[in-house]
Structure formats: C-alpha cells, structure tokens
Structure 1
C-alpha cells in the first residue's frame, strides 16, 4: 500500500468442543442472560442474568482477567458497575468483591438473579494509544453499531464454565446480527446459544445496518459482515477480493475443513487526519474480528483485510483442530500456557507464506523476498530464548511476542524441508498437520508435554526428535542457511540467491517443497 503503514496485532483465541479426558466441571446450571440494545444510556448496557441450582453456600462470579491470545492482564471486570445478587423474592445476597474481576457470593443456594451495568470500552479509536491496546477483545456500544465481545459483558461462575449459555438480545429493527453462534433471530429479538463460556466468548457479534456478503466454498459458508462509520457499504467489494484467497487456502488444506461456517466481522473507523492504515485482528474458531482504523480508501482497506485474513483463516486448523488442554480448558483468571506457539502461530504463519508459492500464485523470487523479510525482522528480537521457554513465559516476554511471526515460520520452513528430505519428498509440514488433525481434532486435546514425542511417532523419523531438541526446546540458531542450500538456495548475511546449477537431489527436494 502506497503512503500507508500497516500495523498488525494478530492474536488467537480458541474455543473447543467438549473433550475426551477433560477435567471435571459442574454443569448443573444454565445461564439465561438478557440485554436490551434499545436502552443504551451513557454508553452503558444493563445486564440481567437468571440462574439457579447452586448446591454450595458460596460461589464466585467472575469476569476474565485475560483471554487466550493476549499476554497481559486486561481485567474485563473493570467495566462492571452496580452489581447485585438476589434470591427469588428479590432480597439482596451478601457478597464481597475479591478483586476487579471476581465477587464472592454468600448464601448462593438461594441465588436466582444477577444484575449489573457494563460500560462500552471504546466508541472510536484513540490513535495515540493504538499499539498495545486490545480493542479487538473489547466491546463498543453505539446506536448505529454494537461490537460485542462477550467476555466484556457476560460473566461466569467459577467451576461452571462448561455450563450452557442462552443470551437474549432485544434490539432495534434496523440492526442485524452477524456471528457464527447458533441463534434464533426475529426482527426485534435474537437468542444466541453456547454450550460453554469458552464457546460464548469465542464468537463475537456485530450488530449493524445489514452489510453482508456470503462466500460459498466446498463444505463451508463464509459470511463477510461490515460496518463503516463513513456509511459506505463495503462487504461485497471485500468478499470479492478475498474469495480467491479463501479458495486457494481451502485447496492448500486439502479441501477438508473442520468447520462448516465462518464469519469475518469487519469494523471500519474512518480516519481523516492521517493516511495510516492501522489494523487489529482477533482470530476465533469460527470467525475473525478485524478492526480497521484507516482512511476511506477501498484499495488499502481490501489489502489490509486480505493480509489479516491470509493468516487468520488458517487458524481453523491450528489451534481449533489441534490444541493442548492448556488451551481447551483455559483458566480465564489464572491461565496455564502451552509450549506450542511454534505450532499455533508459527506453523499458521508458515502456511500463510507457503501457500502462495505451493499453489503457484507467486514466483520463487517473490517467495525469497518474503523469507528475507522474515529473517530481517527476526533480528530485532532476542533469538537466544528457546521457543518453548518463550511460549511458556509469553506474558513476561510480551515485548518479544511478535517474533513468533518471524522466527516461527522460518523454523517450520526448516522443519518442512527436513521432513521432505527424510521422506524422499513424500511427507512434509502439511502432511504432519493433517496427521495431527486426524489423531486429535476439535474434540480431543493432546497433553502439552507429550506432543514432540507424538510427532516423532506419527512421522516415523527419530531425527525429528533431535530437530525439536535443538531448535524448539533448545537455544540453537535456526539451520536456515544449510536447509535452504538443500533446495538450491544460497543464503549469506540475510540475502538469498538462486543456485542455477541444481543437482538432481536439489531439484527433487525443491519440487516436493514448493512445486517448482
């Protein structure tokens, strides 16, 4: 994009189906929430919850401190005011606010209702505070548009995260809801259903004047839903622009996707003070929320959405289809982190840069430039930290986080070529991911500390265990130069040149790697 700067904050959040061998949760209650979008006052919504069935004398009502994909405390309870807990006669129950996100309720066997107000987190964007702000995890309330991230509006009871949710939304007739949640919709009232809190917060909702376009692909329907405060409809142009991308991504994934429905929610705030294009993307299991803070320049907006979608859509495989218990049973107030950001983000970004060359959409020279740019960007970070240590301590290393999009794909490039070399070209990174998806999938998590051994069993090459020991668990520098040499590419001081006199072995390995 000429005369513009594209800033990405790409994070992941995933909600998983009920899992085999999952931890024990109580599920005796059903959450029945209601809000009324017609009654927005002072940027606040009133929230009502009907619930009963508690068997203990005390219970904790919570909002998340943090959600998957962000690496510092966001404290979503900060927006809650005027909270009260009542029995069926309307009597107030004693409670104590433990911290900004949690309330201890006494006499909870009698609890039947909770009410409170929540503040919208933003109306438009503060340009000077864009970087480091998690707008894409928060909610916005305006009469013309509501961006609903459920973690900012609806709380949960500790130990009852796996109970089902029903969300009833009264609304003006001119607003339409776009979401991947299961729903029942009428002109003035919508009801959304989620099997757990995890699934609820994994499915944001956009309420706006209808501007939606559907993209039908084999086995999946993709909806593009847009809102722009400029008043310009844009979903058709954006959908037409990203449709070829989604077709090629589906082809790259073998045409078999783990979801049948996907929603791109796009919110555009028109900037008139700058030509900067600022983007935040939040990936979910069945949707992506994209926030654009940019001038009304459709070419730049389409390119920005394309860049975000090219990465985020691949997340339907990782971590939706392949994930550990640390992600599947995420503790929103005391999370345990997985070792495997190299897979969730690193492999996803590798697929993002590998798909165009594998599907012959770009030239080898273009692909070389992408690799060089990743390598150059990687040098800005501390590469002495092992990827496992980085992943487990990502909250403490948030200033290093964006390196996962540089070092991560380069690691997986090396892994892909090594697998192809060991298998005589027959088995690579794509095949490994498909095998993991078959073994685990959305309904079955893996044990975090056992994945490396499982990968060795799946691919059948003990040498891959050594690869993980050295470059993922260990601190050794990536073997990028020696790996690229195996496919006839010479790398020196970050620059890559093509060897024009390839051996038969190099030709075969390069073709297996990138079809060229």
Structure 2
C-alpha cells in the first residue's frame, strides 16, 4: 500500500481515537430568557477510584479569584447505563463521585447574567460564555481533548476560537479550552486577511452583537484594520493563530458591563450602551489594548503565569510589563493609526503621570510590588475596608509611564525605540513561547543597547525600585511640556468628599502626605467649618479655597463620633501635573522636534 495513504489512515485513526477519548459537553439554552443553560459533561475512560470534578476559581486575563462555583446547581451524575449515581459536593466548587464504572455523565444548570470579560451572560438575545465561568472540568484530566456541542435557538451562530469539527467545537486540552470565550447569537461579521512578511495569510474577524448603523460599523472596521497593521508593524509580523484566525468578540448592549479580556486567538470586548454608534470610540480603545496582548501576554508570557492555575489566584511580578507596556502601546497605536491626535496621546500620558506620580504607593513601592497586588485588586471581591489609596497604584498606569520613559530614553540616548526592544523580546520569548523572568527582560535591554550597565541601572531604579524618570527632560525633544496644571492653587488633598445631610463627609481614606492626612482627618469625619466659613456644599469648599494660597493655615471644625472637634490644616500647592504641546505652551517647534515627534507618533505600517 502507498506509504502516504498508510500515513493518512493512521492520522485519521489517531484523530478518531482522540475524539472518542475527548471530554464531551453539550450546552442547551431552552431557558435562556431566565439566564439558564443546561450543560452535560460526558467523561470517558475515567481512571479507577473516586472522580473529582470542579468549577474554576480564576480565569485567564484575571489575577484574583472569582468563585464561579456559586452559579451552578442541580448537579447530577449518571453511569454508563444512564442510571443516576451518587455525587457529593465536598467543597464550594468541587464535587466527587465515589463510585463509577469508567464512564460518567454529569449534568448541571448554569445561571449566567453578567456580561463582561470574566463571567457569563445568557438571555433571549445571546449567550456570552467565558469558559471558566461556565464549564466543570476534571483536575486529573487536563491534557484530554475537549469538545462542545451547542444546541442553538433559531438564527444563532457560534463565534469562538475553539476549532470547528464535525458539528462540535474542539480544544486539544484544558488550557486552550478555558482560553476560548464563545459568543452565541445572531451576530454581524466582518472579516479580512492580513499577510505576514513570510507570506502567511491569516483572517481577522469582527464579531459584533448589538445595534449599529452600517456607516458606523464600516468606519469602525476601517479603524480596526489600521490598529491591526500598526500592531503588526511593532513586531514585524502577526502571531501564528491556531486555525489561522483571530476574533474580536464585541458586545454592546444597555445591560452589559464595560470590559476587555485578552485570549490567545481572540478577545472579549463588552460595553454598556444602546449601540456601537454611541460607544465606537471607547470600544476602539479597548480593541487597541487587547489586540496588542496577542503578542504581549498571550505569547510573551511571564513565567509566573505559566501554567495558568484555575484553582487559585495567579500572582505575577511582571504585570507592569504584561499589562503596563500594553497600556502604553494601546494608546500609541491609536495615535499612529491616526485615530487619536498626538495632542490626545500626550494629554492622556499626562493623566497617567498625574495618577502615578501623585500616588503615595508609587512613590514608595516598585512596579513589581504593584504587579503582585493584582491578586487583591483585579476585580477581587471583599467587603472589608482596605488601604489601597496609600499603598497601591495601578500596574497598568505605572507600567505605562515606565514604558514611556524607556521609549524616550532609547530614542534620545541610543537611537533606538521601544519597538526595537519589543521586537527583541518577541524574538526571544514570543515566537519561541519561552516564558520570561524579569532578569530576561533586563538581559535583552542590555543586548539591544549594548550596555549592560544601562539595563542594570534602569531596572534597579525603575523596576525593582521606585525612582521616577525626569519626564520634563524626556518629553521636551518631542515638543511636549511636562508641568504643574494648577501651580498656585491651594489644595487640601484628593480624598473624596461627599455632601450628606448638610455635612461634608470625608468618604475615602486620607491620602498620606496630603494636608487632610497631616491634619489628622480621615474617612468618616464631617467637615463643618473652614475658619469661620460654614461648609454647606462642595462649591463652598472650592469657593473658599480660591481665596487662599498655598502655605496658609486653616482652622478646621469637624465632627467625629458625634463630637465636635477642631484641628489646624496647612494648605499645599496642588500637585496635579499635565503634558501639553509646545504649541499650546507658546514655545517654538524646531525641525528637530518635529522629526522626533513624527518618528515616535506617526504611522509605522508603511515603513
């Protein structure tokens, strides 16, 4: 027999065996109007001994725990003959079948009524399934293939990175399955091909569920295309997507939460709104960020997230790079694509600088520390109070301003760019999919700059340490001014104050080092008077402060625990900062500045 035919037969037989051994799910949506799905799970060839199955506690792209087991019930188990057998709930999200005959079927009801990147949502319009929030799994069978059959209402279609195969959707293992969000609806679809330098063609898909006009949807598609090619230009190529496709799974409905969540060959993007016509700008911002994750996080992965553990929180020391550098590029790609102006980009960087540089946590702790705090702040749920205001600063924004500093430093000192650095990281750790340690990122920086000393100093000061770059000096060559936005304004602090029953209540923790903090005021205190001025609303505070100057002393009368008390407060300069163009600041733009700015912010797709 022909050797090629024999090989094809063997490969076909191997595929059949894998399909027979796959864990098989069926999803039915007869009660979708009440946010329920009926799910069955057939597990073939169960090893001898008690069988444990479970729901996840965490989800790809998230770092805290989410306790998905709370939304399944009516859990039953059956043997190979269809007879019901005993299944015990031994933990909140873990079930055990003590006795079986080698093949088991489990059924349960899933309640799903929250559409975002983490949870699941089902109603009469669609089913939006994040896999960890939806499917039980077997901890001892994580390398077994998995298949799903969807019993759909009329006109609904399936959009997923799961691989279509003879009427079912296939994943080679648990990690791929859990990383494959799925949209079931009568969605709209836009598709096009993007070509890599080596000739590889791959399809990009916009899967959109929600209302929109044709003109807005067409304009949105054109802008997404620009973002895709600008992202491709950073690395020089697209990743190789399994099945040759990438999907933006986008939902815009009034009942949704706003979110974006990256996955290996797709991303979930949800927005609360009546239609894409209202939310296109917001959604494009999420598109730009999440698509960059197809390289940075999905393939350039920190070793601390490998393999992802669905049973607990996943702590990483590298989120300043994984999320923060992606935050930077998400905004930079919009500028390079011509969707946002250079002024918009600079203004937003000013907002991020303001948020980080005026955060007491970022002035004390490193980006690595902030990354490790994600297990507590990344949509983690707790009811007790915390001190995040004084110890935490977003690793998204902290990482962004670190990327900004590195990009401008490379351009000024080495005639390199952050794109050069990202390409080198991609070559070493993305294409190879060799997870990195922080020391690897430092090593690559030393290699591209040919200066181990520079790399060591940069990481020592700005990654392991909490020093901040000289942003005024770094931004000037591009024609941007970094400055105080309200340099002579009197300021009491940025704690939130709300009016309640005619009293100004400090409703959030006093920020360390601010006048309120130094005066001994804290959350729950009610400010009654500033000097002899009664505080009756927020305007009375703002109006009074306009008559004062930094350095002046105020007498504060306040209530605490029903008692009237007083303290002295010293007004400070408002520390808020901003970034504006030389043009707005009345400064001259030289040809050198114009060239620097264009090299940084203009399109790279045609280069």
Identify the TM-score tier after normalising by the shorter chain.
Answer: 0.7 to 0.9
TM-score w.r.t. length of structure 1: 0.80
Task: State the secondary structure of the residue aligned to 1:295.
Answer: coil
Quickly say closer, same or farther: Cα 1:455–1:109, change in 2 above 3 A.
farther
Conserved 8 A contact 1:183-1:193: yes
The equivalent of 2:310 in structure 1 is: 332
Conserved 8 A contact 2:235-2:422: no
For residues 85 and 92 of structure 1, the distance between their equivalents in structure 2, rounded to whole angstroms, comes to 6
Structure 1 position 115, deviation (Å): 1.7
Asked whether 1:477 is paired with 2:468, we answer yes
Cα deviation 1:191-225 (Å, max 9, x = unaligned)? 11111222112222212124222233333322222
Cα deviation 1:8-44 (Å, max 9, x = unaligned)? xxxxxxxxxxxxxxxxxxx996311112234658432
Q: Which moved more, 1:105-114 or 1:387-396?
A: 105-114
Cα deviation 1:292-332 (Å, max 9, x = unaligned)? 21134x54222222121121111111112200333231111
Asked whether 1:139 is paired with 2:120, we answer yes
For residues 149 and 291 of structure 1, the distance between their equivalents in structure 2, rounded to whole angstroms, comes to 12
Asked whether 1:223 is paired with 2:205, we answer yes
Aligned positions of 1:107-506 closer than 5 A: 107=99, 110-122=102-114, 135-184=116-165, 190-218=167-195, 219-228=201-210, 235-236=217-218, 238-259=220-241, 260-270=244-254, 279-296=258-275, 298-358=276-336, 364-379=342-357, 381=359, 382-383=361-362, 384-398=364-378, 403-423=394-414, 425=415, 427-441=416-430, 444-448=433-437, 450-456=439-445, 458-459=447-448, 460-462=450-452, 463-485=454-476, 489-493=480-484, 494-496=577-579, 498=582, 500=588
Aligned match for 2:56, one of 64, 68, 75: 64
For residues 152 and 337 of structure 2, the distance between their equivalents in structure 1, rounded to whole angstroms, comes to 45
Asked whether 1:76 is paired with 2:65, we answer no
Number of residue pairs matched?
465
Quickly say closer, same or farther: Cα 1:368–1:290, change in 2 above 3 A.
closer
For residues 84 and 153 of structure 1, the distance between their equivalents in structure 2, rounded to whole angstroms, comes to 16
Quickly say closer, same or farther: Cα 1:415–1:77, change in 2 above 3 A.
same
Structure 1 position 348, deviation (Å): 0.9
Task: State the secondary structure of the residue aligned to 1:66.
Answer: coil
Q: Kindly report the root-mean-square deviation, in angstroms, between the aligned alpha carbons of the 2 structures.
A: 3.3
Task: State the secondary structure of the residue aligned to 2:267.
Answer: strand
Structure 1 position 434, deviation (Å): 1.4
Structure 1 position 164, deviation (Å): 1.3
Cα deviation 1:452-502 (Å, max 9, x = unaligned)? 443245423211122112111112234423433465644233244536486
Quickly say closer, same or farther: Cα 1:283–1:402, change in 2 above 3 A.
farther
Where structure 1 has 5 or more consecutive residues not aligned to the other structure, the ranges are 1-26, 123-133, 272-276
Cα deviation 1:53-112 (Å, max 9, x = unaligned)? 333523421111111333443111111112123332345554432322112332366342
Structure 1 position 411, deviation (Å): 0.5
Structure 1 position 247, deviation (Å): 3.3
Quickly say closer, same or farther: Cα 1:141–1:380, change in 2 above 3 A.
farther
Cα deviation 1:153-182 (Å, max 9, x = unaligned)? 211111322321111112234111122221
For residues 594 and 251 of structure 2, the distance between their equivalents in structure 1, rounded to whole angstroms, comes to 46
TM-score w.r.t. length of structure 2: 0.69
Quickly say closer, same or farther: Cα 1:98–1:468, change in 2 above 3 A.
farther
Where structure 2 has 5 or more consecutive residues not aligned to the other structure, the ranges are 1-18, 196-200, 379-387, 485-576
For residues 109 and 432 of structure 1, the distance between their equivalents in structure 2, rounded to whole angstroms, comes to 56
Q: Which moved more, 1:234-243 or 1:59-68?
A: 234-243
For residues 250 and 81 of structure 1, the distance between their equivalents in structure 2, rounded to whole angstroms, comes to 45
Cα deviation 1:242-262 (Å, max 9, x = unaligned)? 333333333344344443411
The equivalent of 1:13 in structure 2 is: none
